[in-house]
Amino acid sequence: MERSGAADGELVFVTGHPGSTSRLFTYAELADSRDRRIPKALEWLKINEVLLMSYSVRTRKMRVARAIFLFGYQNSRKAYDGELAGLLDPAVFEKSALKRTSSRSWLLHDRIWWKTLGRGRHCGGSTNDRRKVRSL
C-alpha cells in the first residue's frame, strides 16, 4: 500500500456494504424520492437533532444518551443529503428516462420474447399482466 494514496485511474477496492441502492427504481420512484420521501426524512432527522440537543443540556446522563442517538441521526442525515444531491442532478433523471424507454421498446418489439413468455400463463403472467405490458 502506497503512503501517497492511489494514483488517478488506478483500480481501488473499497470494502463495505451500501445501506441500500436505487438502481432499479423507476423514473416516478426517483422523482418521488427527490420531491417527497427524502425531504420528509431530512425534516424528521433535523427536528430530532434539535430536540436531542435541547434535551441533553439538562444532565450528564442525558448527554451520554444524546451522543448515541445524535451520531445515528447525523450519519443518516449525511446519507440522505448525499442521495438528494445525486437526485437533484439532471443527468440521473436523463439516464433513468433513457433506461425506461429502452426497456419499454424492448418489451414491445421483441417478438421472440412475446411469443415465448408474453402469451402463456405458464410464465406466471395473467391476461391482465399482458394487457399492462401492452399499455406500456
Give the count of alpha carbons within 13 A of 52, CB side only.
18
User: Does 74 map to a domain?
Assistant: yes
Which amino acid is it at 58? R
Mean pLDDT of the chain: 75
User: Does 18 map to a domain?
Assistant: no
User: Does 129 map to a domain?
Assistant: no
All residues at 6 or more sequence positions from 77 whose CB lies less than 8 Å from its CB, including other chains: 42, 45, 46, 49
Distance CA 33, CA 80 (A): 10
User: Does 92 map to a domain?
Assistant: yes
Q: Tell me, what's the pLDDT at 122?
A: 46
pLDDT higher than threshold 90 for residue 39: yes
Check residues 13 and 133 and name the one with the higher pLDDT. 13
User: Does 5 map to a domain?
Assistant: no
Cell 430536540, residue? 51
Domain of 65 in residue numbering reads as 28-101
The model's pTM is: 0.57
Contact (Cβ atoms closer than 8 angstroms) between residue 20 and residue 82? no
Which amino acid is it at 80? Y
User: Does 12 map to a domain?
Assistant: no
Task: Give per-residue pLDDT as tens, 76-120.
Answer: 999 999 889 988 988 877 777 676 666 656 656 666 666 666 554
Count up the domains in the chain and report the number: 1
Q: Per-residue pLDDT averaged across 70-79, rounded?
A: 90
User: Does 34 map to a domain?
Assistant: yes
Q: Tell me, what's the pLDDT at 93?
A: 74
Task: Give per-residue pLDDT as tens, 52-62.
Answer: 888 777 777 77
Q: Tell me, what's the pLDDT at 47?
A: 93
Number of Cβ atoms within 10 Å of the Cβ of 80:
19
Check residues 65 and 36 and name the one with the higher pLDDT. 36
Q: Tell me, what's the pLDDT at 9?
A: 83
All residues at 6 or more sequence positions from 83 whose CB lies less than 8 Å from its CB, including other chains: 22, 33, 38
User: Does 67 map to a domain?
Assistant: yes
Distance CA 64, CA 72 (A): 13
Helix (H) / strand (E) element for 111: namely helix 111-116
